[in-house]
C-alpha cells in the first residue's frame, strides 16, 4: 500500500501547475493534502477511482485538508472532537478494518511565537486523540506537522533555536508523541540521512540552495513500523514550497 502526503500551499495554484501530473505519477492508494486553502465548491477535481474527503476551514482561503482514497472508508471523522481546534479544517481520519489513516495540518506557532501557547494545547489534545485511536487499531498519520524534530532535520539549527517549528517546546511535544507509541518512518529507515528536507522558504533562494526543513511526516503506530518497506521525500517535485513525502507499507 502506498500513501503520499503533500502540503500544496493553495490547491488552486497547484492545479494550474503540475498537480494532475504528480497525482498520476504517484498512483497512491491514499493521496493526502494539507493547506488546500479552499471552501466547498471552489475547485472540482476529476479523480476517477478515488473517493474524495475534504475538511474546510471556517475562514476563507486558510488551512484545510483532503484525502483521496482508492478504497472507501468504513467511517470518516473530521477534526478531533474538540471545538477549540475543529474550525480550521486541520484533521481528517479514515477508518478501515485494520487501521486508521489520519492527515493533519498542525498549527504554526507564527513568526513571533504568538501562537505557541495554543500550539502546546493542540499538541496535547492531538496526541490524546491519536493515542485513543491507537488503542483500537494501528494508526498511520501524515502531514505537515510544522516541527523539525532534531537538528539533523533542518539546515541551520543553531540560528533557528527560537524560530517557530524548532523551539524546545515544539520539539519536546514531538518527542512525547513518539514516546506515546509512534514511529517517524523516514528517520527510522534513514537514521543518518542529512540534507533531506520537505519545506523551503520562498525567500533567499532557499530551495535552490537546499536550505530547508523536514517538517512533513509519516508516523505509524510503533507496532507496525516493521511493515514499512519504504519512506521517501520527493524533493525533486516542485509546485509548492513543500514537496510530497511517501511511504509504502504492507497492511
Q: Which residues are catalytic?
A: 105, 144
Pairing between strand 199-200 and 212-213? antiparallel
Encode burial over 154-190: b for 16+ CB neighbours within 10 A, e otherwise.
bbeeeebeebbbbbeebbebbeebbeebbbbbbbbbe
State the DSSP H helix or E strand holding residue 117, giving kind and residue range, or none if neither.
Answer: helix 116-134
In the block, cell 543553531 appears at 158
In the block, cell 478531533 appears at 80
**Cα end-to-end distance, the chain, whole Å:** 7
Amino acid at each position: 500500500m502506498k500513501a503520499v502526503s503533500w502540503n500544496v500551499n493553495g490547491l488552486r495554484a497547484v492545479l494550474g501547475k503540475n498537480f494532475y501530473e504528480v497525482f498520476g505519477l504517484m498512483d497512491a492508494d491514499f493521496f493526502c493534502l494539507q493547506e488546500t486553502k479552499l471552501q466547498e465548491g471552489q475547485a472540482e477535481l476529476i479523480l476517477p477511482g478515488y473517493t474524495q474527503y475534504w475538511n474546510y476551514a471556517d475562514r476563507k482561503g486558510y488551512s484545510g485538508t483532503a484525502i483521496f482514497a482508492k478504497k472507501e472508508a468504513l467511517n470518516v471523522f473530521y477534526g478531533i472532537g474538540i471545538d477549540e481546534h475543529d474550525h480550521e479544517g486541520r484533521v481528517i481520519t479514515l477508518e478501515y478494518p485494520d487501521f486508521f489513516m489520519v492527515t493533519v495540518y498542525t498549527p504554526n506557532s507564527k513568526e513571533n511565537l504568538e501562537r505557541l501557547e495554543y500550539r502546546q494545547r493542540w499538541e496535547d489534545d492531538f496526541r490524546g486523540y491519536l493515542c485513543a485511536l491507537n488503542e483500537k487499531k494501528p494508526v498511520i498519520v501524515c502531514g505537515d506537522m510544522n516541527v523539525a524534530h532534531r537538528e539533523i532535520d533542518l539546515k541551520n539549527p543553531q540560528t533557528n533555536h527560537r524560530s517557530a517549528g524548532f523551539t524546545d517546546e515544539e520539539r519536546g511535544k514531538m518527542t512525547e508523541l513518539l514516546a506515546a507509541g509512534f514511529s517517524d518512518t523516514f528517520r527510522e529507515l534513514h537514521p543518518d540521512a542529512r540534507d533531506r528536507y520537505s519545506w523551503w522558504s520562498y525567500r533567499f533562494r532557499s530551495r535552490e540552495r537546499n536550505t530547508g526543513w523536514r517538517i512533513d511526516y509519516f508516523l505509524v503506530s510503533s507496532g507496525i513500523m516493521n511493515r514499512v518497506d519504504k519512506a521517501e521525500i520527493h524533493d525533486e517535485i516542485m509546485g509548492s514550497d513543500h514537496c510530497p513525502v511517501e511511504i509504502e507499507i504492507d497492511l
